Structure 1
């Protein structure tokens, strides 16, 4: 009997030990930069003995499930010294790590948020990530480092034109790109009519571009998402940095609010081109204004291990004025975020978001008339995201967002006796719910799938019109304030699959549907500050895009080189074009000027990048077509969209001569945009009139340009850094066409001659940068 009890005791003890050994616990925490306290996005954490791992999310948080026992946890981040720590897991643990930058690197550019083989292992395709150091190394116009100019050197992303910050992604129009700054929408991302972007590189932490295959948490645009996150600031020490350039200067201040718990950053920038105008003897330029400024600010505070708050904002404004005419425009955004850990496996982010874009036109004719025109689009939004780390091979994201839109297309004031009515305001309410699941089916196959349910409602009050095919009013309905006029509901499925062929290569396939309910009306390719946003309505249906993609990815020479080849086909519905001679601005019946039809875009992209070493850079090539089909245009046949380009090539190179001197160069070539040129002319009352037949049947001349840059690090210590950057934009002075107009030949009026306008030939620039 005693023996039975003894054996029963041993059996229970053995069973307890086995159960204990199989118990699953969670290791979680944050990965930071030891010097600045900044969260590291995409850092790798894995268990050496179990060959399992994960990466940190957008806030530097990770969660990993392991069995009880002793194991070695390894933390790595490219450009930083790795850390190893042996731990005995007998309960769930919270482990934070602070990594230090490697001091053996020749150049800071190798410090990036990407794993060496991320392009092979990640499930997401059609995505590009940029490091801020890369942006700082590439020569651009006037020496001003520019996010939007840099992404235009990537495959599938095309510049809208010379000097423009607008861009087109895989055949999409410029308004089909969702641009986010700390989750707030930026409606006009350009300064000085497109020659600069609104993003100051001193204030930027990370940049991600999704080319139409974005995860389910993003939505609202057809072609791409540009997700930009601002720096959190240094929570260890105070730093001041900035630069003095040829036409602009910038300054940034960052430091701890409470060391190790909170930090802030304030960054500002201003151009002073207007100061040079004052030196001119031209009386027509007296009182002229031509400048922009922007201000970024962000603060964060860690309340405790489970709660952290962020507050960030942006304010930017352009001012352009000559004599009696002036126009100014600008963006302002604000985001309040709360990170909360419900448990070590459930991560939550709650955001309250404000976005505002405004332009104002002033016409002042002395005592005769003073008229102001104001147009605005303002958003108030709330966004809730959850991330569930259920298992090491499974992660679930779900949440919702809700945004109230107020659009003022034109509010007009005048003291000159003019009786001008304001345009009708537009109100809309957009909501979306999403869920996505990333799952590792096997050692070779990863899948990410999800769905987004979008709901968009046009709200009253006022009169709402229905138009026939000729643009005549068919019906009028009156709605009270906030009454539902029209609601659209769309389901947007997405799926991406990654097949690992080996440690060095993979094949990916994806499908995504996107819908868009805010539309920009513009007759220009690059866009203007006065372009008008309108919501979907009883006349304007949501735009829809279905995109399928297939890609091959390969790394070689120990991940030093990466190669990607992607092909895509995009089917488009409810695409917008315009009637001949359409009046888009200050027209209360602007919807009667719009035409609707189908579209298609397809292409082939190649990207070869050398990532490390004294010489690095990339080559990108895109072969593509973008077409539209509307019953009222070109006899209902397919015709090129205005953003259609056949070939687009970018070559970027950066070379370190030594620790103090580095060289950089970029060369771009692309086929000219599709345009509508006159096919004939006639005369009415002595005035030449031009005849236009087929839409976008002509082409602008091909564009090409070489930019060169040199950086000299004058001094670099632990407490002070200074450097000089020199660059030449369009180094060989090619006169690229900005516009082409037509006129009668002076000697023979029966002949017509084309006149090309070019903007820039040689543009040298220099900038002095400092940090202390």
Structure 2
């Protein structure tokens, strides 16, 4: 107890705060010899058991949590697979079955990564299998005295007795130790909180099932979680505008089950649109991506839902102060399963403190009043079918919706305007994965996605109708082949085809005006890469190339060659050096139209590059990093340089003299990211710091070089979490310097020589907002309601100091031709609470 208190004391000092909590530690029921437990039952129920001593001499059992004899005996049978037969009311016989059903779950030796593709063989029999993506395997009717062999490239072969794996819930966990020579086992470090893992290729993987807690979060929101990592922030506090190493959100590639997503947020960006409870794994890549990934010159967020059939069903439901959700995974048989999730907001019929804060944040600079009707929902579905032991089929579906309608009345004319806004995404995908033999596998993916943003204003007498529409339709096909050339060398090859059609429509009845533009871009891609892992795990290397053929029927055809590189070298047991690099491109961007502004709420429209007015965006990035990881301490330092060419002032969100000119140019970012994390079983404390020098270059703008709209020079985070039995506590502090903005000229702020008048501005982005500082906290308590029903309750407070952070400042002319300053303010003190059930 003294040790626990001392650890807690250090944690409190580090965070400059305190927690007062207590927990009672329950002792687990121990496993006891079956013979001993049978003697206890004979005495308690006045019965007799008959058995051969050799059959059950070494069998252990966990005393069942039951009081009825029949139930107790059934639980013993399920635990031990010893057959119990009732002869009469007093006498029972026990016999040991010659065969048993077994199962297991295989991880690497730090229980962090599943080893998909590892082989399991029951020696001396015909039983063999490949471990699925969740690390699971199972057999029925295995000889009780058999021995299993588990093998995986780069790991020591493990032998285990079959009778140690008798099927029960959960299946026994087996750990494979990595193979090494004169090195300690390689540690894959768990970042910040449980479920965040640093990979050898420089990516970070999030395992939703294992996820712990982060400050301000009571649910594992994918797009909020990635912002806890250095180099990733949202400058306007939304998940629909995530900035990775100084890039804009449209420069990120966001995938859900291999489908490119054009909508990522609910509540106009404040909440992730992806249900986290069936999202099995999320991979974040900032640099050095595999050649199989295209688009996304800034970063990649790859979300994958569960892709294997569970042994039994699982489900859950939850409610918070914004909405409610349900999810389930339902195995129909050994080869077929369905899973689904659904979520809906409560915002159209229930006001909560959280909704009040969100509404103020989203609609503060718009025409929308609290009389409006707003709600959102999403739904996902997936069908899993194991065709046979070597081929698996999956079908995925996702539907995302945001809807708003409201009316307002002009106080001068008494005219009423009816307005509506809808934002929807509907996607279908299919995947076939095949393991042809131990060395060759393939994956075929296809999808169809449709994103639509629609807005309209109708005056009360219908004299004027304004209609705006942005629609994206995309069809894609992708084939991956993976061949193991040698024991330590894998060869990936593939082909990808994508056709994207984007339309933008605007129609006004008074004065009459119509615009309807539709563009298509097609891409054919070949990619190839080699991945090498040394036998001693000292060296990991991946080098690839991606050849893109892009075609816009109206304007261009173009070939682009993109090399990729990822090297990780352990020069000591604890110190590693990492070198990453990549060239990337994208032909689809978002323009930010502040004149036709979708009611002032959603101003971004997807558009196809024409390689002239809006060029194909291309990037090149290189980074070098060093990290130290050993047991409870991680240190990481990474320097990078990124240059992005082919950007336009239309895509960057200018709110000054360059707002509508459409000049093209580039930006470059020089940065440094640092992270230190001290972690034990009880607590995790971390501090991170990011330095970015992010500048534009537009040759047609004066001056041509000036700070990027996303130039946040200094960002720092200090946070920690603490686990006390079933309690999870988190608190954190986020700091960053202010973003650039442009003020009107001091000498002559208004230019009256134009009609309508214009604002004369100073040099672009020559001023900066005040610093940003926000403190968040959260707490979750897990508890059981019944044998199979688990529950959790959580509370969180965003910005618990109530600080008014200014996210953006711009200027506009009001109705009297006077310059008006507009400040977009961050979320205020925002509470939230949740209650969840799992079964």
Give the shorter-chain TM-score range.
0.7 to 0.9
Contact 2:587 2:616 in 1 (8 A): yes
Find 1:365's aligned residue among 452, 459, 472.
459
Please show how residues 392-407 of structure 1 align to structure 2 within 5 Å.
392-407=487-502
What does residue 455 of structure 1 align with?
Answer: 549
1:571 positional shift:
2.3
Find 2:246's aligned residue among 167, 171, 181.
171
Cα 1:615–1:45, aligned 2, differ >3 Å: closer, same or farther?
farther
Higher mean alpha-carbon deviation, 378-387 vs 563-572, is at 563-572
Q: 1:251-288 CA distances to partner (integer Å, 9 max, x unpaired)? A: 11221021x323221111111112136999xxx96972
What does residue 588 of structure 2 align with?
Answer: 518
The yes-or-no answer on 1:569 pairing with 2:637 is no
1:411 positional shift:
5.8
What does residue 182 of structure 1 align with?
Answer: 257
Q: 1:84-104 CA distances to partner (integer Å, 9 max, x unpaired)? A: 4269xxxxxxxx99984769x
Greater gyration radius? 2
In the alignment, the residues of structure 2 paired with residue 514 and residue 196 of structure 1 have an alpha-carbon distance, to the nearest angstrom, of: 29
In the alignment, the residues of structure 2 paired with residue 77 and residue 268 of structure 1 have an alpha-carbon distance, to the nearest angstrom, of: 41
The yes-or-no answer on 1:215 pairing with 2:308 is no
What does residue 158 of structure 1 align with?
Answer: 233
Cα 1:753–1:328, aligned 2, differ >3 Å: closer, same or farther?
closer
In the alignment, the residues of structure 1 paired with residue 300 and residue 653 of structure 2 have an alpha-carbon distance, to the nearest angstrom, of: 32
In the alignment, the residues of structure 2 paired with residue 713 and residue 194 of structure 1 have an alpha-carbon distance, to the nearest angstrom, of: 29
Contact 1:247 1:272 in 2 (8 A): yes
1:703 positional shift:
0.9
What does residue 436 of structure 1 align with?
Answer: 529
In the alignment, the residues of structure 2 paired with residue 455 and residue 390 of structure 1 have an alpha-carbon distance, to the nearest angstrom, of: 28
Report the 3-state secondary structure (helix = DSSP H, G, I; strand = E; otherwise coil) of the residue aligned with 1:149. helix
The yes-or-no answer on 1:501 pairing with 2:571 is yes
1:536 positional shift:
2.4
Cα 1:549–1:635, aligned 2, differ >3 Å: closer, same or farther?
same
Please show how residues 446-485 of structure 1 align to structure 2 within 5 Å.
446-460=540-554, 485=555
Please show how residues 267-282 of structure 1 align to structure 2 within 5 Å.
267-276=341-350
Cα 1:162–1:529, aligned 2, differ >3 Å: closer, same or farther?
same
What does residue 553 of structure 1 align with?
Answer: 627
Cα 1:507–1:579, aligned 2, differ >3 Å: closer, same or farther?
closer
What does residue 201 of structure 2 align with?
Answer: 124
Contact 1:77 1:115 in 2 (8 A): no
What does residue 648 of structure 1 align with?
Answer: 715
1:400 positional shift:
1.1
Please show how residues 200-279 of structure 1 align to structure 2 within 5 Å.
200-232=275-307, 235-258=310-333, 260-276=334-350
Contact 1:43 1:77 in 2 (8 A): no
Report the 3-state secondary structure (helix = DSSP H, G, I; strand = E; otherwise coil) of the residue aligned with 1:151. helix
Find 1:308's aligned residue among 383, 387, 392.
392
Please show how residues 518-667 of structure 1 align to structure 2 within 5 Å.
518-522=588-592, 529-539=602-612, 540-556=614-630, 559-578=631-650, 593-636=661-704, 638-658=705-725, 660-667=726-733
1:212 positional shift:
2.8
TM-score (norm 2): 0.71
Contact 1:222 1:516 in 2 (8 A): yes
Find 1:138's aligned residue among 214, 217, 222.
214
Contact 1:31 1:97 in 2 (8 A): no
In the alignment, the residues of structure 1 paired with residue 453 and residue 812 of structure 2 have an alpha-carbon distance, to the nearest angstrom, of: 33
What does residue 671 of structure 1 align with?
Answer: 737
Report the 3-state secondary structure (helix = DSSP H, G, I; strand = E; otherwise coil) of the residue aligned with 1:148. helix
1:115 positional shift:
6.2
Report the 3-state secondary structure (helix = DSSP H, G, I; strand = E; otherwise coil) of the residue aligned with 1:275. coil
1:163 positional shift:
4.1
Cα 1:739–1:169, aligned 2, differ >3 Å: closer, same or farther?
closer
Cα 1:442–1:384, aligned 2, differ >3 Å: closer, same or farther?
same
Cα 1:97–1:160, aligned 2, differ >3 Å: closer, same or farther?
farther
In the alignment, the residues of structure 2 paired with residue 581 and residue 729 of structure 1 have an alpha-carbon distance, to the nearest angstrom, of: 27
In the alignment, the residues of structure 1 paired with residue 730 and residue 312 of structure 2 have an alpha-carbon distance, to the nearest angstrom, of: 32
In the alignment, the residues of structure 2 paired with residue 134 and residue 634 of structure 1 have an alpha-carbon distance, to the nearest angstrom, of: 52
Contact 2:106 2:135 in 1 (8 A): no
1:690 positional shift:
3.5
Contact 1:552 1:565 in 2 (8 A): yes
Contact 1:135 1:147 in 2 (8 A): no
TM-score (norm 1): 0.77
Contact 1:76 1:83 in 2 (8 A): no
Find 1:293's aligned residue among 377, 386, 395.
377
1:614 positional shift:
1.2
Query: Unpaired segments of 5 or more residues in structure 2?
Result: 1-102, 121-129, 138-146, 162-166, 175-185, 192-196, 357-367, 408-417
In the alignment, the residues of structure 2 paired with residue 649 and residue 579 of structure 1 have an alpha-carbon distance, to the nearest angstrom, of: 28
1:508 positional shift:
1.3
Contact 1:43 1:115 in 2 (8 A): no
1:384 positional shift:
0.5
Contact 2:339 2:383 in 1 (8 A): yes
Find 1:384's aligned residue among 479, 482, 491.
479
Report the 3-state secondary structure (helix = DSSP H, G, I; strand = E; otherwise coil) of the residue aligned with 1:451. strand
Find 1:733's aligned residue among 802, 809, 830.
802
Cα 1:43–1:609, aligned 2, differ >3 Å: closer, same or farther?
farther
Report the 3-state secondary structure (helix = DSSP H, G, I; strand = E; otherwise coil) of the residue aligned with 1:175. helix
Higher mean alpha-carbon deviation, 235-244 vs 384-393, is at 235-244
Higher mean alpha-carbon deviation, 660-669 vs 181-190, is at 660-669
Cα 1:193–1:602, aligned 2, differ >3 Å: closer, same or farther?
same
In the alignment, the residues of structure 2 paired with residue 743 and residue 457 of structure 1 have an alpha-carbon distance, to the nearest angstrom, of: 40
Query: Unpaired segments of 5 or more residues in structure 1?
Result: 1-29, 48-54, 63-69, 88-95, 104-113, 461-484, 585-589
1:355 positional shift:
1.7
In the alignment, the residues of structure 1 paired with residue 752 and residue 651 of structure 2 have an alpha-carbon distance, to the nearest angstrom, of: 22
How well do the aligned residues superpose, as a CA RMSD in angstroms? 4.2
Report the 3-state secondary structure (helix = DSSP H, G, I; strand = E; otherwise coil) of the residue aligned with 2:549. strand
Contact 1:314 1:333 in 2 (8 A): yes
Cα 1:199–1:344, aligned 2, differ >3 Å: closer, same or farther?
same
Report the 3-state secondary structure (helix = DSSP H, G, I; strand = E; otherwise coil) of the residue aligned with 2:224. helix
Report the 3-state secondary structure (helix = DSSP H, G, I; strand = E; otherwise coil) of the residue aligned with 2:316. strand
In the alignment, the residues of structure 1 paired with residue 117 and residue 575 of structure 2 have an alpha-carbon distance, to the nearest angstrom, of: 19
1:131 positional shift:
2.8
Report the 3-state secondary structure (helix = DSSP H, G, I; strand = E; otherwise coil) of the residue aligned with 2:348. helix
Contact 1:245 1:768 in 2 (8 A): yes
In the alignment, the residues of structure 2 paired with residue 580 and residue 614 of structure 1 have an alpha-carbon distance, to the nearest angstrom, of: 44
What does residue 11 of structure 1 align with?
Answer: none
Find 1:348's aligned residue among 433, 437, 442.
442
1:698 positional shift:
1.5
1:446 positional shift:
2.7
Cα 1:695–1:744, aligned 2, differ >3 Å: closer, same or farther?
closer
In the alignment, the residues of structure 2 paired with residue 441 and residue 193 of structure 1 have an alpha-carbon distance, to the nearest angstrom, of: 47
1:392 positional shift:
2.1
